[in-house]
Amino acid sequence: MDAPVQRGGGGGLNGSRPLTKAREGGEHRPVDWARGWLGLACLVGCASGPVVPHATPRSIPGEPLTFAICGDMRSDQGPEPGAPPSPQGQLFAELVRRRPAFVLNTGDLVTRGDRAEDWRIFDAWTAGLRSARIPYLPLLGNHEYYGKNDVALAEYWARFPELERAKWYSLRAGPLFVLFLDSNLNELSDEERGTQRLYATKAVQSAEQDPEVAFIAVAFHHPPYTNGPHPPAVDAQQELLRPLQFARKLKLVITGHVHSYERFVQAGLTYLVSGGCGAPPYPVEIDPSRRRFAPAYDGPAERGYHFVECTVDRGALRCAAQVLEATGFVELDPFAIESSTAPGAAEAYDD
């Protein structure tokens, strides 16, 4: 079964064939997501020279569907022969071992978007995913915009040519529909912001009406809810999420930016923060008298390096953080979300 993605920036949405691009006006056409994994070099004009671009294999399985979430992986140093195992190396080796249907990155792939060396480090850390042909689906974080935007975005798109220069797009994989948005609103023109909002609304409307879609997730970099050092992204909440409140199938918001793990539930919607894929981790506030929001996961201040593994099966979306510790990976905060059509779904968050 082929799975679709659609490019925005002139985008739309799709059903469940190869990740596809949608033109303005609603025209959809399939895009060959497999090409980047076949070792094609970057076309002329890539800022850092030839690279092996990322892309998505033609087939993403239906139920049960397992995928991973991994964000804020930026690093100033790549793998070195003979060096002690690094967090990035262990995280990506474990992802390759588990072989999820795809990896969703929550942004900040590199430290500085216009620096060629940073992208070569990114290429080195993700080489195992490319070799295993595990799809790596990115979001634009604030660090992708660091430096000269035209150079930075050229580096980003060089690795993901199937996006065809889109800053937002969507994925349909079995019963799951994921909308990828750009929350760097200050980096977008008024026209781009309006186009993104329209794209998001049309995409979610289509997924909401599709009987084969059980869950809708929206992913962007900056978290509306966090007890970390960064302020909550109120503008993203208002501009990107509020227009989508009509969707009963919208169950999960996936973000990064904060180098930790957090989970909140607000009005029946789960907000996940996962930014522990390699950037230096830092604590979140856990004192009830000082934190901004009451979390659904009330763990220690330090959550460490991690990725999140999710599985969609039998009307439920089940996730848990996989935290890197000295003895290996330990599961943290397992939780489940029922689909809108599952028995008892209306009571899923009553407690």
Tens-place pLDDT, residues 242-271: 999 999 999 999 999 999 999 999 999 999
The per-residue pLDDT for 44 is 26
Q: What are the distances in angstroms from CA 16 to CA 62, 65, 236, 310?
A: 9, 13, 28, 19
Q: CA dihedral defined by 218, 152, 69, 64, rounded to 10 degrees?
A: 70
The DSSP string of 179-228 is EE----GGGS-HHHHHHHHHHHHHHHHHHHH-TT--EEEEE-SS-SS--S
Three-state DSSP state, 83: coil
pLDDT tens for residues 82-91?
Answer: 677 888 899 9
Q: Which domain holds residue 68?
A: 5-347
**Residue 158: which H helix or E strand, with range?**
helix 149-159
Greater confidence (180 vs 349) lies with: 180
pLDDT at 62: 58
- Give the up-direction half-sphere exposure of residue 36: CA atoms within 13 A in the CB hemisphere: 28
How many independent structural domains does the chain possess? 1
Instruction: Give the pLDDT of residue 347.
Output: 35
What is the model's pLDDT at position 7?
66
For position 84, what pLDDT does the model report?
75
Query: How much is the pLDDT for 260?
Result: 95
Nearest by Cα to 299 from 267, 273, 328, 269: 273
- Nearest CA to 94 among 303, 329, 310, 320? 329
pTM of the model: 0.85
Say which residues have a Cβ less than 8 Å from residue 188's Cβ, sequence separation at least 6: 167, 182, 196
CATH number of the domain that residue 100 is part of:
3.60.21.10
